[in-house]
């Protein structure tokens, strides 16, 4: 038989939701949901699934994903995270709620190296959550601020999500990196303002009043690690290296720091680090493959065209369309991992954004920030799950604190929707050809 658009969409979405309810992992649920449509429609064959998955993997830029994950794992295993925490203590520990500010600051520093929010939540959380609890911070607040600050890992460049977005949507990764810098910093400052408010209400302590000697030691210890984002971002923006080559440089440099400079990574540690990296990278890449098949089927049945026609008929305008896009990414981020959502929802909404005269860069930044918030919102909320596990509490128990901390972050998202030039200013200054 030949399936109509309505029947095909009902089968795809219905099967996917059923599998998610049955707690089938997202990557497998996406792939399995395509099988009924492929077998029922005589125009399609099972080889379509293999072909579309292969086509999605046949991308040089996606090689950057495992190498950035490797760099993050090497940073955590090589105790380089400790150097960043020492630097963050010097920079922010003197303010009321010192360790809370340190938590936010180290996430901003780590984001500029790893490109991974989950690596941030796991690596920094293991150190900072117990430290905050021992200093008298409320356990729920310690978990919530760690989870919420870790989302900057995919907003502040370099970012794995931006690399995937650039590869899937054919958008300049360098321009995306630049566009994420100011929004990422604004989110970081909003988190610090929230920490300050909590510190005043609950009388949280100042961690340390740094001396010149302490500051010099901290900067000296973290200086080499902080060169990583310089190599990565400058190399891409200047056109010296591709995103994949920059990821390889970041991984190689992290290995050099761990084994040669700091001597905290031993030869026997390299095997387990590579294994963990390969395991996490395979999960991400498999999700890219199955999501690509799912997204291709939606396009095959003209779902994007129908959505465009609906949006045009509603006359939302540019601002209204951006708000709808943000809402959809926020909603899907509640249930699905960011990478599959980029491939499925991003490719469907890209023509909608184009029809509304929205810059591809702004469309990307709004989507990525919205999806980043999904990392701390149940039921998916991977960063929240990691932080809650470290803190020894149930996710439900910390949900109130997460919602309070998320509010100013959502205001920053709304600010960028209202004033897109906030995100576009840096790309226009440094990569004008990529924006126009």
Report d(CA 181, CA 68) in Å as an integer: 18
Q: Round the CA-based radius of gyration of the chain to a whole number and report it.
A: 22
C-alpha distances in angstroms, 352 versus 9, 12, 306, 423? 18, 21, 10, 20
Q: Give pLDDT, residue 436.
A: 63
187 Cβ neighbours under 8 A, 6+ residues apart: 151, 152, 155, 369, 409, 412
In the numeric block, which tokens belong to residue 228?
């990583």
* pLDDT tens sequence across 186-195: 999 999 999 9
C-alpha distances in angstroms, 414 versus 109, 291, 410? 24, 28, 6
CA angle in degrees (0–180, nearest 5) for 127-186-201: 60
Tell me, rounded to whole angstroms, the distance of Cα 277 from its chain centroid: 17
Tell me, rounded to whole angstroms, the distance of Cα 174 from its chain centroid: 16
Report d(CA 169, CA 436) in Å as an integer: 16
In the numeric block, which tokens belong to residue 415?
């600010």
Tell me the whole-structure pTM to 2 decimals.
Answer: 0.87
Closest CA to 115 of 273, 280, 335, 331: 280
Report d(CA 81, CA 62) in Å as an integer: 26
* pLDDT tens sequence across 226-244: 888 887 888 888 888 888 8
Read off the pLDDT band of 62 (50, 70, 90).
confident
What percent of the chain lies above the pLDDT cut of 90? 25
Report d(CA 84, CA 111) in Å as an integer: 11
Q: What share of the chain is helix, strand, coil (3-state, %, to 5)?
A: 80, 0, 20
* pLDDT tens sequence across 140-168: 999 999 999 999 988 998 888 998 899 88
């Amino acid at each position: 038989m030949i399936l109509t658009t309505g029947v095909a969409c009902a089968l795809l979405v219905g099967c996917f939701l059923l599998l998610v309810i049955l707690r089938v992992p997202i990557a497998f649920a996406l792939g399995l949901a395509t099988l009924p449509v492929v077998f029922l429609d005589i125009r399609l064959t099972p080889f379509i699934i293999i072909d579309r998955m292969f086509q999605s993997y046949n991308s040089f830029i996606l090689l950057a994903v495992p190498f950035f994950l490797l760099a993050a794992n090497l940073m955590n295993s090589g105790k380089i995270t400790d150097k960043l925490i020492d630097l963050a203590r010097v920079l922010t520990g003197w303010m009321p709620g010192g360790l809370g500010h340190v938590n936010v600051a180290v996430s901003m520093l780590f984001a500029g190296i790893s490109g991974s929010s989950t690596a941030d939540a796991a690596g920094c959380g293991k150190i900072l959550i117990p430290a905050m609890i021992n200093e008298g911070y409320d356990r729920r607040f310690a978990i919530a601020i760690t989870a919420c600050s870790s989302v900057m890992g995919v907003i502040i460049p370099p970012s794995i999500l931006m690399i995937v977005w650039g590869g899937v949507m054919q958008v300049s990764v360098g321009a995306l990196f630049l566009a994420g810098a100011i929004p990422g910093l604004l989110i970081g400052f909003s988190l610090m303002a929230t920490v300050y408010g909590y510190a005043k209400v609950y009388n949280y302590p100042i961690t340390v009043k740094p001396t010149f000697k302490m500051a010099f030691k901290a900067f000296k210890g973290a200086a080499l690690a902080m060169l990583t984002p310089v190599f990565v971002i400058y190399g891409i923006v200047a056109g010296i290296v591709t995103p994949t080559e920059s990821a390889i440089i970041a991984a190689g440099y992290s290995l050099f720091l761990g084994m040669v400079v700091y001597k905290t990574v031993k030869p026997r540690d390299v095997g387990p680090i590579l294994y963990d990296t390969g395991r996490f990278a395979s999960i991400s890449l498999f999700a890219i493959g199955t999501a690509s098949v799912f997204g291709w089927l939606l396009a095959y049945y003209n779902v994007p065209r129908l959505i465009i026609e609906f949006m045009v008929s509603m006359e939302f305008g540019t601002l209204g369309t951006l708000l709808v896009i943000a809402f959809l990414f926020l909603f899907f981020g509640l249930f699905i991992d960011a990478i599959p959502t980029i491939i499925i929802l991003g490719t469907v909404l890209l023509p909608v954004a184009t029809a509304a005269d929205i810059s591809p860069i702004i469309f990307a930044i709004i989507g990525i920030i919205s999806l980043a918030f999904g990392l701390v919102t149940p039921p998916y909320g991977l960063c929240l799950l990691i932080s809650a596990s470290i803190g020894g509490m149930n996710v439900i128990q910390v949900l109130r604190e997460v919602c309070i901390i998320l509010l100013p972050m959502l205001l920053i998202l709304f600010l960028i929707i209202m004033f897109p030039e906030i995100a576009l200013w840096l790309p226009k200054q440094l990569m004008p050809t990529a924006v126009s």
